[in-house]
């Protein structure tokens, strides 16, 4: 996170130089600082990790918001139509994520995305149990969750 410290320092310097002590001033300073780091220090190995990470974080945020909105329209559809067509079930999804942070983020993401709700992680951390609203094809559902896991691991590793 060395790059982050530098970026924050550059943002603070921008705020001090412009005398614009507001959130938007800080945001602009942060953006300019990131551009500066990205252009000048791209090849320095100490910073390249951070420089590559920021766009991933932003892409993940947009992905998360998209999924959240999609899941809410799905919930709206479910709530306003008869419940007879629902086929709920609990499936086990094998995990590739190891650390606490990865599993927590994945479980949170699953809970806020369409038709899935994470129930629990097995004690040996190999499997995540997920409750699904429409479980027509367990393998397809597992694939979908593996895709979310891929996104999370891409972000955190």
Partner 1 sequence: MMTEWIAAGLLLTGALFMLLAGLGALRMPDLLMRMHATTKAGALGSGLIMIAVAVHFGETGVTARALAATLFIMLTSPVAAHVLARAGYFTGVPMWSKIVRDELKGKYDEDTHTLAAPQRYRNKPPADDGKAPDDGAG
Select from 138, 146, 150, 154 the one that contacts partner 1 (CB under 8 A). Answer: 138
For partner 1, give the closer residue by CB, 59 or 125: 125
Give the integer Cα–Cα distance in Å for 145 and 114.
11
User: What tokens were used for 106?
Assistant: 């994945």
Question: Judged by CB under 8 A, which of 14, 15, 34, 118 binds partner 1?
Answer: 118
Residues in the chain: 157
Binding test (CB under 8 A) with partner 1, winner from 19, 23, 45, 62: 23
Find the binding residues for partner 1 in span 24-83 (CB under 8 A).
24, 68-69, 71-72, 75-76, 78-80, 83
Residue number with CB closer to partner 1 (10 or 95): 95
Task: Among 29, 115, 149, 155, indicate the residue that binds partner 1 (CB under 8 A).
Answer: 115
Q: Packing angle between helix 138-156 and helix 45-80, nearest 10 degrees? A: 150
- Rg, Å, the chain Cα set: 20
Angle at alpha carbon of residue 153, lines to 149 and 157, rounded to 5°: 175
- In this structure, are residues 133 and 90 in contact, taking their beta carbons and an 8 Å threshold? no
Give CA–CA dist 123/145, Å, rounded: 19
- Does residue number 94 form part of the binding site for partner 1 (CB under 8 A)? yes
Q: Is 139 in the site for partner 1 (CB under 8 A)?
A: no
Among 98, 143, 147, 154, which residue sits at the site for partner 1 (rule: CB under 8 A)? 98
When the beta carbons of 41 and 153 are compared against partner 1, the nearer one is 153
């Amino acid at each position: 996170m060395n790059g982050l410290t530098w970026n924050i320092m550059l943002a603070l310097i921008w705020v001090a130089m412009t005398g614009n002590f507001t959130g938007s001033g800080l945001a602009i300073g942060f953006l300019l600082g990131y551009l500066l780091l990205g252009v000048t220090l791209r090849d320095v190995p100490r910073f390249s990790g951070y420089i590559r990470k920021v766009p991933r974080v932003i892409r993940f945020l947009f992905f998360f918001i998209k999924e959240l909105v999609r899941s809410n329209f799905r919930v709206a559809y479910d709530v306003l139509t008869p419940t007879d067509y629902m086929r709920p079930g609990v499936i086990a999804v094998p995990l590739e994520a190891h650390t606490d942070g990865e599993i927590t983020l994945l479980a949170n993401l699953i809970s806020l995305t369409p038709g899935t709700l994470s129930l629990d992680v097995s004690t040996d951390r190999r499997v995540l149990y997920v409750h699904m609203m429409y479980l027509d094809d367990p393998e397809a559902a597992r694939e979908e969750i593996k895709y979310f896991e891929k996104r999370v691991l891409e972000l955190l590793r």
